[in-house]
Amino acid sequence: MKKIFITGASRGLGFEFTKQYLERGDYVIASCRKPEKADDLKEMKTRFSDRLTIVQLDVADEQSRNTVFEEIEKEFDNIDILINNAGIISGNEEESSVLGEIYKEDFSKVFLVNTIAPLLMSERFLPLLENSSNAKIVNISSQNGSIALRNVGGKYSYSTSKAALNMVTKVLSNDLRDKGIVALAIHPGWIKTDMGGSNAPLEIEEPISQIIDLTERSGLSDSGKFLDREGKEVPW
């Protein structure tokens, strides 16, 4: 039974990761900003009370990260997989700014949540990852962060934050290779979620299952790569 830590677990991809890992028999630590409003997570807790811990976490807040680490460290000796899933599309978290309506606060907030927080989460929880015999860090990226594939305008802060996250993942993989810890940046695809919208072509179940399988079979030879849900490399 693996121990999985998931950020942004109250809805969308994070909740589906939580659901599928629990159904596979693993232990999940599900974090979100407002657990008291996370009805789906609370319902899941009634089904898997012995294998689900729900914690309040704002990934962008240092004190929140430290508090959660101290809580988890008291209960668990290790974490096997850290999934940095929490993310926002723009500073107002609902719609992306377009050229002519860009403001620096948007970039600051998006980069803090999408790029800096995954690095700081990985750094803070490194002691527990080091205690795992096969630890992995999964940073949920996006094809929007591929410079080579970018052929439309808009989504400035989101796209650049994901491109930067890819670099964070690559550098992190170099630092962690000698520790045997794998770091991956994964593009899940365009999925029907609150962020992805109703026009997205993919239902959520299969892509998340594919990412879980990809994470399971990945090794140090894959560390630092930018992959899609099927394991194919996405151009930087």
The pLDDT tens digits for 156-180 are 999 999 999 999 999 999 999 999 9
Residue with tokens 């080579």: 148
* Nearest Cα to Cα of residue 120 among 164, 66, 187, 188: 66
SS (H, E, C) the chain: CCEEEECCCCCHHHHHHHHHHHHCCCEEEEEECCHHHCHHHHHHHHHCCCCEEEEECCCCCHHHHHHHHHHHHHHCCCCCEEEECCCCCCCCCCCCCCCCCCCHHHHHHHHHHHHHHHHHHHHHCHHHHHCCCCCEEEEECCHHHCCCCCCCCCCHHHHHHHHHHHHHHHHHHHHHHHHCCEEEEEECCCECCCCCCCCCCECCHHHHHHHHHHHHHCCHHHCCCEEECCCCECCC
Residue 110 lies in a domain: yes
Separation between Cα atoms, residue 142 and residue 165, nearest integer Å? 9
Residue 234 lies in a domain: no
pLDDT (0 to 100) of residue 154? 86
Residue 176 lies in a domain: yes
55-228-127 Cα angle (round to 5)? 40
Residue 235 lies in a domain: no
pLDDT tens, position by position, 47-82: 999 999 999 999 999 999 999 999 999 999 999 999
Residue 233 lies in a domain: no
CA dihedral sign of residues 165, 171, 175, 178: positive
Q: Which residues of 105-135 are buried (b: 16+ CB within 10 A; e: fewer)?
A: ebbebbbbbbbbbbbbbbeebbebbeebeeb
Number of domains in the chain: 1
CB 63 within 8 A of CB 76: no
Find the domain containing 217 and state its range.
3-228
| Alpha carbon of residue 127 to chain centroid | 19
189 has pLDDT over 80: no
Residue 37 lies in a domain: yes
Residue 59 lies in a domain: yes
CATH code, domain carrying 173: 3.40.50.720
* 103 annotated active-site: no
pLDDT (0 to 100) of residue 190? 64
SS (H, E, C) 18-48: HHHHHHCCCEEEEEECCHHHCHHHHHHHHHC
Residue 140 lies in a domain: yes
pLDDT (0 to 100) of residue 196? 58
112 has pLDDT over 70: yes
> Among 21, 103, 156, 158, which one carries the catalytic annotation?
158
98/22: higher pLDDT: 22
111-117-121 Cα angle (round to 5)? 165
